[in-house]
Structure 1
Amino acid sequence: MWRGDFVHCPSLGQLGILRDHVLEVDKKGFMVYIGPASSPEAETRLNSRASVNRIPPGTFLLPTFYDLHLHAPQFLYQGTGLHLSLMEWLNAYAFKAEERIDSSPILARRVYTRLARRLVEHGTGAVLLFGTIREDTNLILAECMKDAGIRAFVGKLSMDKNSRPTYVEMSAERALSAAASFVDKCRSLESAMDPHERLIEPVLTPRFVPTCSEELLVGLGRLSEERGLRVQSHMAEALDQVEWVRQERGLEDIDVFEQSGLLTSRTVQAHCTFLDPPSFLRLAQKGTAIAHCPLSNAYFSAAPFRLREALNSGVKVGLGTDIAGGYDIDIMSAMRHAVTVSRIREGSRHLECAASGARPNEHKSLSIDWKESLYLATAGGADALGLRAGTGQFIVGAPFDAQCIKVVDEETGRGIGSLDFLDNESAGTSAWSLSEEIVEKWWCLGDSGIASISDQYTPCSIHSRHCHLSRLSFQLLPAGEPYNSGQVSP
């Protein structure tokens, strides 16, 4: 049982601040009660418990983040090689790094263990991962995520053309056989565990249209339908990639995926930068979600993603870091970049209207605000993944999946890290009241680093993230089947 302040986003653009609330979680990780601490029912529940985890003033709980697009092997060279176009970058960096990791289990485990640690440090509770083409390497990836207590959707790459000669599957038939085999092996990792303890799920992962034959794509579509499997890929990402598909197939990306049976309600497509509003309507009808990766789009796409149009069309959208096409593993960064790009788009719209003498329609703004981005990073990401209703929020019946954010030091009354609350510093936390302004300040200025955290959080093993992003241990309870993880020390 927890008592203190909680923050979540019940819907797009809505921020819920639950001040001095009581939250109770059952043994399997579902929230069974949440209400004001002053209510009679809350008092009864508090009195019935021998101990209560108290969230101190200056601290609040927030749902953990969902990263909908991350290339695990590319973490090896994160932060380099961003001067090339997409297709050149793949040949110069991505394929080589992935092949190198596939050839060395020791290196793979080192990279994936460190990746899992960084995800924990940055508040990511669930992640949709691209792996490599080798089955055993992807099982190492799954094991590393599982050991860290992260809910991971792991994709073994399927690609049978247009890659390095030594880093490609020899035929569509062999690629399909390997994909089915990986699904079985990945599921067997946790087959002996109760459903609420399972963390890992396999995902069919055609890299993107240029590296997949028609036979492979159609076969993966059939496999997804027969076994109810999730699908992830890249779609309409960059100008050179889009033109490649047009010249080779005479079609658009979205047409190829749809004809292959790979646009489903279990599909997440990354980027979708070159899709127009009619295409968004097609995705909405299919139930296909989009992973918006604003930072990598700035490097590899010739145009910004039409986020507002996608949302207005009813498409489910979450955020992705796209390591290593994006250099920052922190979803906080993805949120900030998503808002920045949208505001630039809105500014450009006003300039175009001014140039033409038209008056901009204020009801058609292209920008999003910080609260909308926070929804995309939490409940919106969970919804895009098709997880249990309520995941990413603090509501009864949903799995408990939280991170602890400390913005003010309880003893000194000073802000943590780069946060300053100079008007109230002398009062400490004695008159503390969490406000939307404080949450916004954290959203803008919160940075990352390791610091200690009170032992009171350890018994429940929740995911801890201060404004200065300290973490000691955490509990991640994924949608659909909550689970109890072990403690993880950074």
Structure 2
Amino acid sequence: MFFRGDLVQCPALGQLDILPDYLLEVDDSGFLTHVSPANSPESCKKLDSSSISLTIIPPGSFLLPTFCDLHLHAPQSLYHGTGLHRPLMEWLDEYAFKAEERLDADPILARRVYKCLAERLIENGTGAVSLFGTIKEETNLILAEVMQAAGLRAFVGKLSMDISSRPSYVEASAQESLSAVESFVKNCHALVSHLPEHKRLVEPVITPRFVPSCSDDLLAGLGAMSEAKSLRIQSHLAEAHDQIEWVKRERGVDDIEIFDRHALLTPRTIQAHCTFVDSQSLSLLRTRGTAIAHCPLSNAYFSAKPFPLHEALQTVKVGLGTDVAGGYSLDIMSAMRQSVVVSRMREGSRIMHGTEGGCQHSETCESLSVDWKESLYLATRSGALALNLPRGCGLFTVGSPFDVQYIRVFDAETNLGVGALDFFDAVLSGKSPGLSPEMVEKWWSLGDVRNRAGVWVQGIKLTG
């Protein structure tokens, strides 16, 4: 399988590569075996073959690595877009726990909700996602089945919580919770064990909901299980003021210390939010190799301060999360835009008051803002690194999986932009513009699902 056209990638923070007229070859297992300009001798030799199956990406369009969503609550897509008027701990009681409990009681509804979620993720260009599920094993196995069938890379977490403000939605004890996790891990692996390794897209994730819902015994057991079985871990860290105060009041220390004490900060761990982390906490996360899922929209609703993205990018692995339903949009493009907006507001505060990042002399301090190119890196390559995806994910390089989205920006036949994009100079001149950083930025700013003509994961076309 061959593709010929323009490529866009962000191999490093702040770096945007536009690779014009490249030829890609994808093998039967969905890996790239050739990445080279179409006019190179090797490419020309391949193109001369009459037997190749070639997809042409026309001028005004490009291929881009799929997006990574590092933090999403799958059952909460039942009601996302509502209920965001309460503080975090109240919102969990009133909305989140009820929705999760409802899906645990209704497997037919759970399957319907999860199929819709998978369709929406693909529609929005997400190829890999880290998912929080519910406390019931069977419901999480449904989630894993649906994601595998949809062709998405999905890391599925059965929630662990032996403490709850909702008596009907809690596990009976730390030991019962640990036994349930062990069973889920075994059965989740069994779902894909019959497949070749490159087709095993779903993995289980150790998922203590957050410190307020987990006893020390449960956290200790989860840490030991993760270490013994080399399992991924995901949770929430230093998210909201009321959550942080609860932990300090009940446990006497910050939640990062509790996670670290129980071996839950590892190179296999992703911690969501981290809005209240300081430089010392970031240093600890760096030492442990732990990544952060930055969720700018839900942070705006539930955290009393913005996440220090600029500082974190100098220290740890960071990717983006939608945090449905704490965030109301499944679209990583929205998360990219919001990450830039929040960072610019932090920079404005630094300039006016010197209140961010400990800077008291704004004219001499480093800018706290990030730009659109840096956010595109977060959504693609950086997210892939944070998720520990297969080698090369987020890049066009030989050996990497073909996890790609096909973006249409400009229609060369009509000289018109696609979707919400307009190119007035092209209309007036009658000449099609070549792909440029400005054109990619316009898509970044204004693009939507109308610009996405196809999505592939591991070489399999999922839509378009």
Asked whether the equivalents of residues 269 and 291 of structure 2 are also in contact (C-alpha less than 8 Å), the reply is yes
Give the alignment's TM-score, normalised by structure 2: 0.96
Q: Structure 1 CA distance, aligned partners of 2:336 and 2:16?
A: 15
Aligned match of 2:277: 275
Pair 31,276 (structure 1): closer, same or farther in 2 beyond 3 Å: same
- 2:363 is the counterpart of 1:360: yes
Cα distance, 1:488 vs structure 2? 4.6
Moved over 3 A (4+): 356-359, 484-489
Identity %: 61
Cα distance, 1:447 vs structure 2? 2.0
RMSD over aligned Cα atoms: 1.7
Asked whether the equivalents of residues 413 and 427 of structure 1 are also in contact (C-alpha less than 8 Å), the reply is no
- Give matches, 1:341-356, under 5 Å: 341-353=342-354
- Give matches, 1:54-453, under 5 Å: 54-313=56-315, 315-353=316-354, 358-361=361-364, 364-426=366-428, 431-449=432-450
Paired AA for residue 110 in structure 1 = R
Aligned match of 2:457: 476
Q: Secondary structure at the match of 2:21?
A: strand
Asked whether the equivalents of residues 75 and 113 of structure 2 are also in contact (C-alpha less than 8 Å), the reply is yes
Pair 195,357 (structure 1): closer, same or farther in 2 beyond 3 Å: closer
Asked whether the equivalents of residues 109 and 144 of structure 1 are also in contact (C-alpha less than 8 Å), the reply is yes
Pair 106,436 (structure 1): closer, same or farther in 2 beyond 3 Å: same
Asked whether the equivalents of residues 415 and 432 of structure 2 are also in contact (C-alpha less than 8 Å), the reply is no
Q: Structure 2 CA distance, aligned partners of 1:432 and 1:275?
A: 45
Asked whether the equivalents of residues 162 and 177 of structure 2 are also in contact (C-alpha less than 8 Å), the reply is yes
Cα distance, 1:23 vs structure 2? 1.1
Q: Structure 2 CA distance, aligned partners of 1:488 and 1:185?
A: 29
Cα distance, 1:26 vs structure 2? 1.7
Asked whether the equivalents of residues 154 and 203 of structure 1 are also in contact (C-alpha less than 8 Å), the reply is yes
Cα distance, 1:389 vs structure 2? 3.0
Q: Secondary structure at the match of 2:36?
A: strand
Cα distance, 1:377 vs structure 2? 0.2
Q: Unpaired segments of 5 or more residues in structure 1? A: 450-465, 478-483
Q: Secondary structure at the match of 2:410?
A: coil
Aligned match of 1:53: 55
Paired AA for residue 262 in structure 2 = S
Q: Structure 1 CA distance, aligned partners of 2:363 and 2:122?
A: 43
Could you give the per-residue CA deviations for residues 345-396 of structure 1, whole angstroms, max 9, x where no partner exists?
0110000149x9945225x111100000000000000000112332111112
Could you give the per-residue CA deviations for residues 252-297 of structure 1, whole angstroms, max 9, x where no partner exists?
1110000011000000000001000111011011000000000000
Q: Structure 1 CA distance, aligned partners of 2:341 and 2:463?
A: 34
Aligned match of 2:34: 33
Asked whether the equivalents of residues 152 and 199 of structure 1 are also in contact (C-alpha less than 8 Å), the reply is yes
Asked whether the equivalents of residues 121 and 470 of structure 1 are also in contact (C-alpha less than 8 Å), the reply is no
Asked whether the equivalents of residues 5 and 55 of structure 1 are also in contact (C-alpha less than 8 Å), the reply is yes
Q: Secondary structure at the match of 1:11?
A: coil
Paired AA for residue 56 in structure 2 = R
Pair 353,267 (structure 1): closer, same or farther in 2 beyond 3 Å: closer
Paired AA for residue 123 in structure 1 = G
Paired AA for residue 64 in structure 1 = T
Q: Secondary structure at the match of 2:236?
A: strand
Q: Unpaired segments of 5 or more residues in structure 2? A: none
- Give matches, 1:447-462, under 5 Å: 447-449=448-450
Cα distance, 1:412 vs structure 2? 1.0
Give the alignment's TM-score, normalised by structure 1: 0.91
Cα distance, 1:433 vs structure 2? 1.2
Asked whether the equivalents of residues 158 and 207 of structure 2 are also in contact (C-alpha less than 8 Å), the reply is yes
Cα distance, 1:485 vs structure 2? 3.8
Cα distance, 1:33 vs structure 2? 1.5
Aligned match of 1:452: none
